[in-house]
């Protein structure tokens, strides 16, 4: 699969998620099979560009190419300037967020709120495409609400404006993350445009990925929440699509070692104080479903140092390995 001049190694995408897809997590998912992983969304408000949060989100040091940055906003000129700013800092692909359903984003008429104004969508897309020499992609939902599913119209506008790939979450803005994703609109979008279309929403297993690709005819799939605590999902989907066979899940030892390496990367990236706090949600996701996980999560969320956090993680997963050994 290609986006502009960039040849991706496969058609598996990590969905941009605020507070989740920082550089350490993107690097991990790419190592385990994701063909592309865009940054957390960066605001088009230039007043925020000097903040620690924005500078971290625009940090691509050592990141596997292509380096993609997602921008969000509602003003065409500001969005164009945000695209230039991020390309100057190393972005090789600019992704535009018109899919986020969060109130704080939609209340300023950004994210999926833009789907209500097709003329403004066109102005933003044209401005961003004209502002940079790198490929520009777009993330949308199927519409504003179920009575206004204008995903096909938006997709045609995007193609006309020079967008080079389109990711579609199979819900409307009003749906948030409730109910089940629907793929009929994604299939209709794929039929309506010639640019690559990536299907997103509720893809949580290799079998589901294959089924969605069949149902929609999409060129790729995008994984979001299902990758939280399970970055191996990319490896598993890639193997299943290639062979029709399922890989065994990662061993407890691999989960432990991957998590510990991930924690070290978080501490290096954020510093110890912030890194320990960011790590808590990842530890929670990795330990979900394991025996004694709830008690462990309560205890580990109380510690304040990297050393204590690492020690508790090692002890917890070592106990899991012992239980597996006894059961065998």
Three-state DSSP at 97 gives: strand
Spatial separation of the C-alpha atoms in residues 151 and 149, rounded to whole Å: 6
Three-state DSSP at 12 gives: strand
User: Cα 243 vs. chain centroid, distance in angstroms?
Assistant: 25
Three-state DSSP at 103 gives: helix
Give the ranges where 251-290 is alpha helix by DSSP (H). 252-270, 272-286
Helical pair 293-300 and 272-286, crossing angle rounded to 10 deg: 170
- Token representation of residue 235: 């490896």
Helices (H) and strands (E) in the chain, counts: 13, 11
For the chain, the first-to-last Cα distance in angstroms comes to 43
Q: What is the DSSP string of 54-75?
A: HHHHT--TTPPSSPEEEEE-S-
Catalytic sites, residue numbers: 100
CB 269 within 8 A of CB 253: no
């Amino acid at each position: 699969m290609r986006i502009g001049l960039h040849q991706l190694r496969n058609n598996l995408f990590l969905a941009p998620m605020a507070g989740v897809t920082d550089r350490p997590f993107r690097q991990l998912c790419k190592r385990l099979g994701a063909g592309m992983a865009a940054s957390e969304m960066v605001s088009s408000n230039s007043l925020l560009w000097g903040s620690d949060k924005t500078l971290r989100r625009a940090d691509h040091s050592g990141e596997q190419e292509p380096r993609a940055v997602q921008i969000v906003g509602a003003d065409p000129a500001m969005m164009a300037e945000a695209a230039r700013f991020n390309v100057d800092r190393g972005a090789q692909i600019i992704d535009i967020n018109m899919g986020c359903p969060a109130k704080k984003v939609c209340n300023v008429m950004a994210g999926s709120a833009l789907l209500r104004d097709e003329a403004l969508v066109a102005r933003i897309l044209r401005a961003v495409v004209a502002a940079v020499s790198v490929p520009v992609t777009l993330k949308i939902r199927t519409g504003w609400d179920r009575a206004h599913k204008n995903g096909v119209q938006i997709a045609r506008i995007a193609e006309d404006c020079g967008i080079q790939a389109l990711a579609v979450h199979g819900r409307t803005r009003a749906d948030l993350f409730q109910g089940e994703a629907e793929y009929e609109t994604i299939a209709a979008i794929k039929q309506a445009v010639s640019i690559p279309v990536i299907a997103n929403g509720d893809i949580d297993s290799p079998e589901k990925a294959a089924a969605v690709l069949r149902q929609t005819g999409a060129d790729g799939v995008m994984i979001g929440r299902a990758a939280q605590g399970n970055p191996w999902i990319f490896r598993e989907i890639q193997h299943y699509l290639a062979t029709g066979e399922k890989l065994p899940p990662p061993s407890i030892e691999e989960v432990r070692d991957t998590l510990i390496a991930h924690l070290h990367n978080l501490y290096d990236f954020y510093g110890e104080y912030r890194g320990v706090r960011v790590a808590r949600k990842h530890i929670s996701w990795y330990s979900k479903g394991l025996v004694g996980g709830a008690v462990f999560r309560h205890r580990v969320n109380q510690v304040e140092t990297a050393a204590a956090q690492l020690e508790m993680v090692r002890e917890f997963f070592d106990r899991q390995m012992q239980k597996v050994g006894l059961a065998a």
